[in-house]
Amino acid sequence: MAHCVICVSESLRQRAIGCGAPDRAVVLGEGSSNGVDTSRFAPTPERLRQAAALRISLGIPHDAPVVGFVGRFTRDKGIQDLIQAFSCLRERFPEVHLLLVGEFEKGDGVPVDIRNQIFADPQIICTGFVSDPAPYYHAMDILTLPSHREGFPNAVLEAHAAGKSVVGARATGIIDAISDGINGILVPIGDARSLAEGIADLLRHPRLALEMGRTGRERVGREFRPQRIWTALLEEYSRLLHQRGLPAPRKTAGTQSIAGSRTTVPAS
């Protein structure tokens, strides 16, 4: 019944159309739900100090490689694949640690044996829910996202804003966030062995990981600023109103102009 459906990524839009949804869906800019504020995740001296303190508090040696995950702990997020991949990594990188930022959910729960393995391994750290994940990205060397499905993963944008490379599954949404070989590595969905190989490749080549992270940060700053999403959203509403001969909203107190744009957005 909708006149317009806004999708958060092009791959999700194509998937919806392929499943029979009417072709009236659009993607704002390059996608995502709200972009990301790069300054919040920037590798500032203060944030790097916070990350170093975090490593100490979490019992992670300062020189140990750290593979990270940020999100919900569920089956469809690929937690089982990640734990299997981590077991493979330990054979080649005995000092590697896995930093899991988030908490378990009841819906689509992780198998009991995987939960037990997580809690029994001293080199797997679970933080539980955190209100500010920014310092945790800087405590990692690489972010992983082995999810089986996504709309558009904010964690990838946040990791890139922090200058980190990402290894992710070739799922909807993730393929819009990661350019394979450019700002990260894509692997087949549900393939723990390939996931381990992708992570190992970046651990063996830290300069490559650093360059991918730098490229990701540049792209986030260029294409995923929140202001771009806000401007595109306002323009979409204005277009729909214009089609029906209705007036577009006027600028009022509490709005601010976007540099280089003739539209306004709510101040935040």
pLDDT along the chain (268 residues), means of 10: 90 91 87 96 96 96 96 96 97 97 93 96 96 96 97 97 98 98 98 98 97 98 95 92 87 45 38
Looking at residue 258, its pLDDT comes to 41
Looking at residue 44, its pLDDT comes to 96
Looking at residue 24, its pLDDT comes to 86
Looking at residue 20, its pLDDT comes to 81
Looking at residue 264, its pLDDT comes to 37
Looking at residue 249, its pLDDT comes to 74
Where in the sequence of the chain do the CATH 3.40.50.2000 domains occur? 39-223
Looking at residue 251, its pLDDT comes to 59
pLDDT tens, position by position, 51-79: 999 999 999 999 999 999 999 999 999 99
pLDDT tens, position by position, 238-254: 999 999 999 987 754 44
The partner residues of 186 in beta bridges, in order of sequence, read 168
Looking at residue 3, its pLDDT comes to 84
Looking at residue 209, its pLDDT comes to 98
Looking at residue 260, its pLDDT comes to 38
User: Which homologous superfamily does the CATH classification assign to the domain defined by 39-223?
Assistant: Glycogen Phosphorylase B; (3.40.50.2000)
Contacts of residue 234, defined as CB under 8 A and 6 or more positions apart, other chains included, come to: 263, 264, 265
190: left (phi over 0), alpha (psi -120 to 50) or beta: left
Q: What is the pTM of this model?
A: 0.90
Residue with tokens 């899991």: 100
